[in-house]
């Protein structure tokens, strides 16, 4: 049994990670300031004697005793990270500094949940880890994109300067139960609009692409990465390489929900990437991983979750 800290542990991904770590016999400390995380996401874990919750903002130092740290704390959808962009940057940068400082003091292994947004609006497709990205440093998404890029810099400098055991994963679009219904992400947007019979909003002509990974697959590879050999630091892309246009996704959601919603088209938001697809060759080679859940099966499970949530 390991004592493991999950920052952002009450969020969409964090709650699934806490659940998996408890299931596999660990003692988990969930740290969250509940800006986008929710107690409902972790309510079913509260009675477990090996699960503990601490309300804390990672932009302030934290003094606890743990063996592993998963650093997931940061608003991850444009609606939430653009609400307070200065705080978003602070969460990525100060949060990384504080979690790295804790790991250094404890000589703990630490994993950074980075993002495909470090690639910006890419000129290389699909995106390999060697690609440095094409990011606007002064745009409305920069607080998140550049914050996460700076966090990666800090992780690798702590590795080089202090021999810290780091792991860095770059998460591509992920979906599943416990997504926030109003987070502005395309899967939750389409599903909620379809269930409510509202118009489904598509930006541009709907030809921009994304690759969608079901949450169970993503959590599996995050845990594999944390427990991989010391000399494999990453960064490593984790996500599903199957690419879909926004129109294809909307049509699949309409089919699976049986909705009569209409498609409406609006202008593309600023700096919205036209393509996003991970090259996961490194994850296959080093971690023996590739996603198992196809989009239709994953969407079906996610739709069932939202039907229950929206009926409450």
Q: How many CA atoms lie within 13 A of 153 on its CB side?
A: 11
Residue 312 corresponds to which tokens in the numbers above? 């409450």
Cβ within 8 Å of residue 43, ≥6 positions away? none
182/180 Cα distance (integer angstroms): 6
Residue 34 corresponds to which tokens in the numbers above? 């509940």
By residue count, the chain amounts to 312
The CA distances from residue 214 to 16, 136, 275, 290, in Å, are 11, 28, 19, 11
Which of the residues are catalytic?
A: 144
DSSP at 228: S
16/167 Cα distance (integer angstroms): 19
Q: Helix, strand, coil: what percent of the chain each, to 5?
A: 40, 20, 40
């Amino acid at each position: 049994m390991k004592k493991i800290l999950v920052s952002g542990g009450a969020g969409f991904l964090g709650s699934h990670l806490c659940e998996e770590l408890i299931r596999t016999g660990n003692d988990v400390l969930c740290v969250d300031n509940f800006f986008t995380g929710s107690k409902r996401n972790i309510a079913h874990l509260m009675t477990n004697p090996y699960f503990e919750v601490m309300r804390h903002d990672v932009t302030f130092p934290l003094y606890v005793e743990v063996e592993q740290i998963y650093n997931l704390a940061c608003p991850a959808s444009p609606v939430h990270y653009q609400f307070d962009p200065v705080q978003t940057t602070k969460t990525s940068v100060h949060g990384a500094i504080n979690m790295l400082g804790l790991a250094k003091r404890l000589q703990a292994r630490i994993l950074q949940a980075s993002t495909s947004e470090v690639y910006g609006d890419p000129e290389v497709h699909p995106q390999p880890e060697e690609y440095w990205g094409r990011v606007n440093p002064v745009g409305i998404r920069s607080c998140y994109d550049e914050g996460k890029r700076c966090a990666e810099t800090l992780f690798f400098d702590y590795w080089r300067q202090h021999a810290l055991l780091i792991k860095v994963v770059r998460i591509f679009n992920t979906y599943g139960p416990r997504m926030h219904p109003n987070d502005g992400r395309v899967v939750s947007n389409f599903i909620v609009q379809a269930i409510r019979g509202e118009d489904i909003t598509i930006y541009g002509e709907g030809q921009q692409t994304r690759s969608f990974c079901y949450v169970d697959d993503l959590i599996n590879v995050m845990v594999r990465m944390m427990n991989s050999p010391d000399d494999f630091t990453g960064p490593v892309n984790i996500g599903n390489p199957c690419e879909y246009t926004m129109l294809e996704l909307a049509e699949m959601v309409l089919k699976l929900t049986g909705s009569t919603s209409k498609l409406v088209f609006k202008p593309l938001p600023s700096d919205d990437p036209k393509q996003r697809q991970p090259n996961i060759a490194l994850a296959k080679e080093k971690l023996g991983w590739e996603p198992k859940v196809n989009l239709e099966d994953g969407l079906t499970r996610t739709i069932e979750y939202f039907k229950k949530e929206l009926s409450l």
